Amino acid sequence: MMDNIVKVAELYFSYGHRNVLNGLDFEVPRGQITCLMGQNGCGKTTLTDVITGVNRFRSGEVLLDGCDVRKMRPVDIAKKAAYVPQLHTVTFPYTVRDMVLMGRTAYAGVFGGPKKEDELIAEEAMAKTGILEYADRPYSNLSGGEIKLVLLARALGQSAELIVMDEPTAHLDLRNELKFLEIAADIVKNDGKTILISTHSPSHAFLFERMGAATRAALMKNGKIYASGAPDEVITGESVSEVFGVNAEIIEYTASDGTKEKTISLKDTAK
């Protein structure tokens, strides 16, 4: 078994004449949370969309569980990689149960829909994210935090080893953000999942470590990976300042329970 579920080599991608990814190399190791960080528009979503087969790229190689994504059908990709979107507008208010069941589409065959066993898997996923009690409510009546948990349950129900998350905690309040990250850390620690999460917040990587999940950080700039590795080594005052164009410092402190913690302190935008 390879240790990387995703391997990206020499990846070039452009929208028309605008180059977004310039010979990018990147890996996502199994059984870990990889936090992908970078400015708005630096190509994080472009990269995750390449990995899930949504974006077709010009040159380079992207292997998902050892297979070339360009040669994989959507149904094969869906069995290996699930996706939690950032914003979700729904036209028809399906029930929470139906939403989560859609994660089972890849197993439903060419025609037809989910079966009895799929319903059981969906219920398990809903229990995992704590939304089973809303199962028969219309999805549109839920709060932003609950909606994210539905989308996470849908991804869990997809039974894919890798879960790709695109800024999943944007628009969430503090408690809901933390709750979402806790469940994410838990499924990596206990359910053998691998997570690739794009985020604006460098502190997420520290949070995941504190929650006991194996964590990696990757910083993106100018369509390339600027630095990647252990969060302690990658997320420094200099690297964050450089990548985000700010003046920032990493502050180490001892929390009231005696543990060593790290947090980021922002000063101003770099002139």
Partner 1 sequence: MMKTADNFRIKRRLLTAALIAVAVSPAVLVFVSLFVGNYPLSVGEVFGILFSPGSASVTQRVVVWQLRLPRALAAAAVGAALSVAGAAYQGVFRNPLVNPGLLGVSNGAGFGACFAIIFLGGGVFTYFFSFGFALAAVVLAWLAGRVGGRTTTTGLILGGVVISSLFGALISIMKYVADPYSQLPEITFWFMGSFASVNYSHFWAFIPIFAGLTLIFLCRWKINVLSMGDKEAHVLGVNVNLYKLLIVGGATLVTASSVCISGTIGWVGLVMPHIGRMLVGNNNNRLIPVSAALGASFMIIIDCIARSLTSAEIPVGILTAIVGTPFFIYLLKKTKGKQWNDG
According to CB under 8 A, which one of 35, 44, 100, 103 is a site residue for partner 1? 103
Site for partner 1 in 132-151 (CB under 8 A): 138, 140
Q: Tell me which H or E stretch contains 228.
A: strand 224-229
Is 215 exposed, middle or buried (CB count within 10 Å of its CB: 0-12, 13-18, 19+)?
A: buried
CA 223, CA 76: separation in Å to the nearest integer? 27
CB of 52 to partner 1, least distance (A): 5
DSSP letter string, 153-211: HHHHHTT-SEEEEESTTTT--HHHHHHHHHHHHHHHHHS--EEEEEES-THHHHHHHHT
Does the footprint of partner 1 cover residue 86 (CB under 8 A)? no
Q: What is the pattern of x (binds partner 1, CB under 8 A) and - over residues 180-199? A: --------------------
Which one of the spans 77-85, 168-176, 242-250, 263-271 is the region binding partner 1 (CB under 8 A)? 77-85
Instruction: Tell me: does residue 67 bind partner 1 (CB under 8 A).
Output: no
Q: Does 91 bind partner 1 (CB under 8 A)?
A: yes
State how far the Cα of 239 lies from the Cα of 247, in Å rounded to an integer: 10
Of the candidates 158, 164, 169, the one whose C-alpha atom is nearest the C-alpha of residue 99 is 158
The answer to whether 73 contacts partner 1 (rule: CB under 8 A) is yes
- Least Cβ distance, residue 63 to partner 1 (angstroms): 18
Task: Pull the structure tokens for residue 179.
Answer: 């709750």
Return the range that interacts with partner 1 (CB under 8 A); candidates 34-42, 80-88, 181-189, 202-210: 80-88
Using CB under 8 A as the binding criterion, the count of chain residues that bind partner 1 stands at 34
Distance of CA 228 to the CA centre of its chain: 16
Q: Which stretches of the chain bind partner 1, using CB under 8 A?
A: 49, 52-54, 73-75, 77-79, 81-83, 85, 88, 90-95, 98, 102-103, 105-106, 108, 111-114, 138, 140, 158
